[in-house]
A and B are shown apart, each in its own frame.
Chain A
Amino acid sequence: MTMQLTHSVSLTPPADKARARASAAAAGIRTEPKLVRIAVITLAVLFLTVFVVLPLVVVFAQAFSKGIAAYLAALSEPEAQSAIRLTLLVAAISVGLNLLFGVIAAWAIAKFEFNGKTFLISLIDLPFSVSPVISGLVFVLLFGAQGYWGAWLREHDIQILFAVPGIVLATTFVTFPFVARALIPLMQEQGTQEEEAAISLGASGLQTFFRVTLPNIKWGVLYGVLLCNARAMGEFGAVSVVSGHIRGETNTMPLFVEILYNEYQFVAAFGIASLLAMLALVTLVIKAILERHLDEGQP
């Protein structure tokens, strides 16, 4: 449940946020007494410190607890390097696939009328409403040795589960909604008039897409890709089920952190974790910049 909640919060379309901000500013009359205001603000700051700032500080403190040399040594271990490489590879492939499918899905949903549209939108949301562990199990049921296609895959010597393809599939599935969900409200708001104008001026479908549609949604696309990438690199549950935890082969960074932690290698565990934390910080900064562009509605 908590997982779903965080997703839906991070997915509020920027346009909605801008509207909410505007109405909050309009109603910005202070009526609470000073004491209440101070109490509420203190509470909020305290909460943020305990639940967000402190954990972040702990991650870095632990990572550097034995000095920078130990930190760098932990990161340059071959198994750590392999986990980093695998994470980058999986994120690149799944973000690429979701970029392609997400843009196509959003385009179809926002610009065309067809039967079963609501069903399609629900389907796109499915990965968010299913626990990631279940998402992973689905792939085990499909591709596992006892799964539907297990026998056929073994005959043809194709390894999907406990290998890179399985991790890519699971990650792609879990992160599918990000790009599509970032684009659908944006494209619906923009309507189809500019596309109609382009076609009446003699543009082909592809010319219309690349010269009119895409430039209008480019900030939204970047926004979706950013969130998709952050989640793809951080995904644990689904990947954990399909990966098999083979050290140096099918361990992504989050999985490797868990293994190191269970083996009491705290510097190494928090070292890798610090990389993921930095990814999160960079993501937040870029997200803030992108949201400003989206709010302005200006390319």
Chain B
Amino acid sequence: MLAYVLRKLAYGGLTVLGVLLLIFVIFFAMARPDDVARRALGEKAQGAQIEKWKAKHGYDKPLWPTLAKPGGSLLQAHYVSLLSFEFGNSDLNDSPIGTTIRDGMGASLALTIPMFLSGLVLGLVLALFVAFFRETYIDTMGVFLCVLGMSVSILIYIIGSQFVFAKMLRWFPISGFDTDVIADGNWNLLLRFLALPVTVGVLSSFGGDTRFYRTVFVEEVNRDYVRTARAKGAGEMRVMLRHVLRNAMIPILTRVVVAIPFLFTGSLLLEAFFGIPGLGSITVDAIAGNDFSVLRVMVYIFALLFILAQIATDISYTLVDPRVRLE
């Protein structure tokens, strides 16, 4: 058990190093510092200007370490800065990246936690309901609705709901958020700001989620032990809740835990469209401004959270499934 956890941790650490290399390749080798400087300064930038810009932002080192000079390469600086969480300043406006990210976290969580929880509960309940009526027209309709929901772009959900509920019906503000409302505890206002993005977020993912949960449940329902339980006189409700739900936990856990890092990353599009100043908005701004320094850190942090979640999933398997514990 301990060896299992340690092994997972060690592999996670190795993956982090791999991710860092990949980030380096994308942001330094695919887009070389000269190109980045030219994008920041404009196409007409002169050689001297570019050199000056590179020196200012610390890009004036060789890309790869060489045998003759192993230290002082950009690769080394990249690893050191990200592994030590010294993110430095933005290339665009020199604001400290670490602080920007910390400030954005709260707003992201305010959006994603309600979205995650209500989505999970709604998805599971709907899936259980549909699986309960499997092979009836309720099931067929349910699956049909799920596929319908999956076939709509999230952009349409966002634009449509903004248009109908905010512009035409004026129930909610089109967009906007105030970080102070969390501190002030102005829940009423917070609710008005969040109602629409949360609804859209749940709506856009419930089709795929519900269908997935349903498949897991239906597969479990057809197992022999469920038939046995039913034969022994357990009610259908009890069978669904006690036997099916519990045994379907592993695939569900996998999907759910892996989704948790996205709580921090927020939903890129939702935040940008609804003007919520979270990590998603920061990322979108970084894309618009070609701010690779911020984008790089974002990719790193999200990957880090994902890897942690993965390790958490592996460990939680051992809690849910006794067979894994024996490994």
A, B: real partners: no
